[in-house]
C-alpha cells in the first residue's frame, strides 16, 4: 500500500507555485473589481432615496448572508445548466468579485456618510458644485476614514479565494489537496500552504499599515 504514495520532491514545486500564482491572480481580480463596484454602489446608496436603498440593500444582504461556497456552486451549476459553462477562473472571479462588492459597498457607504453635512455646506458656500464637493471633500475624507476596513475586507478575500477550489479552480488549496492525496503528508503540506498564504497576505497588510501612518489615521 505504501508503494502507492510518493514523498514530496522538488518537482512538486511547479504545482505549488502554480497554485500560489492562481491564488494571487483571482484575489487581485476580486479585490480590484469588488472595490470599483463597491465604490459605485456605496456612493449610490449614500446618495439615493429610501426605495433605492431598500432595493440595493436586499441584494447585498443576500450576497453577504449566503455562504460563498454555496454561491460558487449554485452559479457554476446554473451557467452550466444553461448550456454556457464558464471556466473555473471566470466563474470564480465573477462570484468572488460580487461577494467582495457586497462588503466593500457597505464600507464605502459608511465612509461617504461619515462626512458631516456642515463640511459639505461649507464647501458649497465656497462656490463648489455638487460634484466638486464630492470629488474634493466627500471622496478623500470618506476613503481615508474607511481604509482600515477596506484592508480587512481585502485580506479576507485572499483567504476566501481558497473556496473557489470547490468548482475546480487550481488555486493553492486545491493543489495542496492533490499533493496530500498522493503523498499522504497532510501536516507538512498544510503548514506549507499556511506559510504561503501568509507570504501572499503580509505585503498587503504591511503596506496598509504604512499607508495608515502616512494618512495619520
pLDDT recorded at residue 209: 81
pLDDT recorded at residue 10: 67
The DSSP symbol for 126 reads T
Q: For each of the chain's 217 residues, which pLDDT tens digit applies? A: 445 566 666 667 778 888 999 999 999 999 999 999 999 998 888 877 777 788 888 889 999 999 999 999 999 999 989 888 899 999 999 999 999 999 999 999 888 887 777 777 787 777 777 777 777 777 777 778 888 889 999 999 999 999 999 998 988 888 888 888 888 888 888 898 899 999 999 888 888 888 777 776 5
CATH class of residue range 11-111+144-213: mainly alpha
pLDDT recorded at residue 1: 43
The DSSP symbol for 5 reads -
Residues whose CB is less than 8 angstroms from the CB of residue 59 and which lie 6 or more positions away in sequence, other chains included? none
pLDDT recorded at residue 29: 97
Give dist(CA 93, CA 89) in Å, integer: 6
Amino acid at each position: 500500500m505504501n508503494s502507492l504514495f510518493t514523498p514530496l520532491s522538488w518537482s512538486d514545486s511547479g504545482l505549488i507555485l502554480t497554485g500560489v500564482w492562481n491564488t494571487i491572480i483571482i484575489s487581485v481580480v476580486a479585490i480590484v473589481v469588488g472595490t470599483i463596484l463597491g465604490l459605485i454602489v456605496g456612493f449610490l446608496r449614500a446618495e439615493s432615496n429610501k426605495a433605492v436603498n431598500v432595493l440595493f440593500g436586499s441584494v447585498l444582504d443576500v450576497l453577504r448572508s449566503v455562504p460563498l461556497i454555496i454561491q460558487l456552486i449554485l452559479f457554476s451549476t446554473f451557467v452550466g445548466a444553461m448550456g454556457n459553462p464558464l471556466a473555473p477562473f471566470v466563474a470564480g472571479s465573477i462570484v468572488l468579485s460580487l461577494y467582495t462588492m457586497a462588503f466593500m459597498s457597505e464600507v464605502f457607504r459608511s465612509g461617504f456618510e461619515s462626512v458631516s453635512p456642515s463640511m459639505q455646506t461649507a464647501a458649497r458656500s465656497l462656490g463648489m458644485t455638487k460634484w466638486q464637493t464630492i470629488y474634493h471633500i466627500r471622496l478623500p475624507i470618506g476613503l481615508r476614514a474607511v481604509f482600515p476596513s477596506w484592508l480587512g475586507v481585502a485580506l479576507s478575500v485572499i483567504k476566501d479565494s481558497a473556496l473557489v477550489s470547490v468548482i475546480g479552480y487550481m488555486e493553492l488549496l486545491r493543489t495542496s489537496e492533490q499533493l496530500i492525496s498522493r503523498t499522504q503528508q497532510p501536516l507538512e503540506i498544510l503548514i506549507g500552504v499556511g506559510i504561503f498564504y501568509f507570504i501572499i497576505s503580509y505585503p498587503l497588510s504591511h503596506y496598509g499599515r504604512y499607508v495608515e501612518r502616512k494618512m495619520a489615521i
